[in-house]
């Protein structure tokens, strides 16, 4: 890993409003709470809470929601110089309905949303040059010009020595059809060093549903670290030499928004601190990173919302300590 870089993690992608269901009004109408959202920023927040230096690249509308999001990003300590505000498009909105067990269904206002309209010439390439890890998701691959911008930034960052991190984060409603989603999500794989995907995404990114078979496929195609999240069962973490299933923590589930994102931010924070390249990390080290990530995620899902639900490092360390006492 290039330790001479200014930033630990820089991410590009969507920054949006999650309107999370907040009960019923007196006249029987659904109420929604305004929460900051977007998988890359959720991930960066978790990394920032763990003491890393981070930055975000993206676009919001020059509207009340965009200004709210910019303020939130700054309050999390994430470098916001890569955030653009556009007068011509509206900030992307997601309406999130929660079931009694904290699971989610989505409805998006994104035709187009500001996050899809970022062009490569607008990107501050200094951020790409000066980061140890560059992270992207697949939601920036749904529409132009963001799709081309994403590939151009990934190539630039990789050529500048960055490790490439990828989280597919599939949202069916934002793709024309599953075939297009599969093609575009897989098109990023040749550039990727580390990937986090859920057990519901394995068959989209690979020919296999089984997490172990999917991991084998991804490792054979050049990826060095694969993490397959397994919901309440924890995570399967793999490198080219070994693999380990790392159990999750018991939680009082309120809202699963940001669970995978916060896990990956926690995982990457511990990985960066070693100063190693992905291929140099042992399975025991990966297990430790994953355990930290699981602790972060277990706390995140005990509150509503993504960014604002991510715990401070003291809370994460306390949960890790409580768990070790139970062994």
| Tens digit of each residue's pLDDT (9 = 90 or more) over 210-240 | 999 999 999 999 999 999 999 889 999 999 9
Give the pLDDT of the chain (327 residues) as one tens digit per residue: 888 899 999 999 999 998 887 788 999 998 888 989 899 999 999 999 999 999 999 999 999 999 999 999 999 999 999 999 999 999 999 887 766 666 667 788 999 999 999 999 999 999 999 999 999 999 999 999 999 999 999 999 999 999 999 999 999 889 999 999 999 999 999 999 999 999 999 999 999 999 999 999 999 999 999 999 998 899 999 999 999 999 999 889 887 888 999 999 999 999 999 999 999 999 999 999 999 999 999 999 998 877 989 999 999 999 999 865 443
Q: According to the model, what pLDDT value does residue 104 have?
A: 66
Give the pLDDT of residue 327. Answer: 39
pTM beyond cutoff 0.75: yes
**C-alpha–C-alpha distance, residues 133 and 88, integer Å:** 31
Any idea what the CATH number is for the domain that residue 31 is in?
3.40.1190.20
Phi/psi at 165 (5° precision): -110, 145
Domain count along the chain: 1
Q: At what angle do helices 259-274 and 39-49 cross, to 10 degrees?
A: 50
Query: Contact, 171 vs 113, CB < 8 A?
Result: no
The one-character DSSP state at 171 is -
Distance CA 314, CA 295 (A): 11
Query: Cβ distance 169 to 104 under 8 Å?
Result: no
Helices (H), the chain: 39-49, 64-75, 125-129, 146-159, 178-187, 202-205, 211-220, 259-274, 283-300, 313-325
2 found inside a domain: no
Q: Which residues of 194-233 are buried (b: 16+ CB within 10 A; e: fewer)?
A: bbbbbbebbebbbeeeebeebbbbbbeeebbbbbbbbeee
Residue 72 to residue 60: CA distance in whole angstroms: 13
In the chain, % of residues over pLDDT 90: 81
127 located within any domain = yes
- The answer to whether residue 131 sits within a structural domain is yes
Measured distance CA(46)–CA(263) in Å, rounded: 8
Task: Dump pLDDT digits (tens) for 42-70.
Answer: 999 999 999 999 999 999 999 999 999 99
Q: For residues 127-162, b (16+ Cβ closer than 10 Å) or e, as one string?
A: bbbbbbbbbbbbbbbbbeebbebbbbbbebbbeeeb
In a domain? residue 223: yes
pLDDT at 258: 86
Which residues are bridge partners to 105 per DSSP?
A: 97
Question: What gap in Å lies between CA 103 and CA 26, rounded to an integer?
Answer: 25
3-class SS of residue 305 = coil
Cα–Cα nearest to 303, from 267, 261, 249, 257: 257
- Neighbour-count burial for 73-109, b at 16+ CB within 10 Å, e otherwise: beebebbbebbbebeebbbbbbbbebeeebeeeeebe
SS3 of residue 303 by DSSP: coil
Inside any domain, residue 13:
yes
**Please, what is the angle between helix 283-300 and helix 313-325, to 10°?**
110
**Domain limits for position 250:** 7-322
In a domain, 327, yes or no: no
Q: What are the beta bridge partners of residue 36?
A: 17
Evaluate whether residue 281 is within a structural domain.
Answer: yes
The answer to whether 129 and 51 are in contact (CB under 8 A) is no
In 10 A of CB 312, how many CB atoms?
A: 11
Looking at residue 88, the DSSP 8-state letter turns out to be S
Please check whether residue 257 lies inside any domain of the structure: yes
């Amino acid at each position: 890993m290039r330790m001479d870089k200014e930033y630990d993690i820089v991410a590009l992608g969507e920054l949006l409003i999650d309107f999370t269901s907040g009960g019923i009004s007196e006249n029987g109408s659904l109420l929604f709470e305004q929460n900051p959202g977007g998988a890359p920023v959720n991930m960066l927040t978790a990394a920032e809470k763990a003491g890393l230096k981070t930055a975000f690249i993206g676009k919001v509308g020059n509207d009340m929601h965009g200004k709210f999001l910019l303020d939130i990003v700054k309050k999390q300590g994430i470098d916001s110089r890569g955030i653009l505000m556009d007068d011509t498009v509206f900030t992307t909105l997601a309406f999130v309905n929660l079931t009694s067990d904290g699971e989610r269904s989505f409805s998006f206002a994104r035709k187009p949303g500001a996050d899809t309209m970022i062009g490569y010439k607008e990107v501050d390439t200094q951020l790409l040059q000066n980061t140890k890890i560059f992270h992207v998701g697949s939601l920036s691959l749904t529409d132009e010009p963001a799709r081309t911008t994403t590939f151009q930034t990934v190539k630039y960052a990789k050529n500048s020595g960055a490790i490439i991190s990828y989280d597919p984060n599939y949202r069916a409603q934002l793709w024309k059809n599953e075939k297009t989603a599969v093609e575009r999500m897989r098109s990023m794989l040749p550039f990727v060093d580390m990937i986090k995907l859920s057990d519901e995404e394995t068959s989209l990114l690979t020919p296999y549903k089984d997490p172990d078979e999917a991991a084998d496929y991804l490792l054979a195609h050049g990826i060095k670290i694969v993490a397959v999240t397994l919901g309440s069962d924890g995570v399967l973490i793999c490198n080219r030499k070994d693999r380990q299933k790392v159990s999750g923590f018991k939680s009082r589930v309120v809202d699963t928004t940001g669970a995978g994102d916060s896990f990956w931010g926690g995982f990457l924070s511990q990985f960066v601190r070693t100063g190693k390249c992905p291929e140099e990390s042992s399975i025991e080290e990966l297990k430790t990173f994953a355990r930290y990530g699981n602790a972060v995620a277990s706390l995140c899902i005990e509150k509503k919302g993504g960014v604002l639900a991510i715990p401070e490092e003291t809370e994460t360390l306390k949960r890790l300590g409580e768990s070790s006492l139970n062994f």
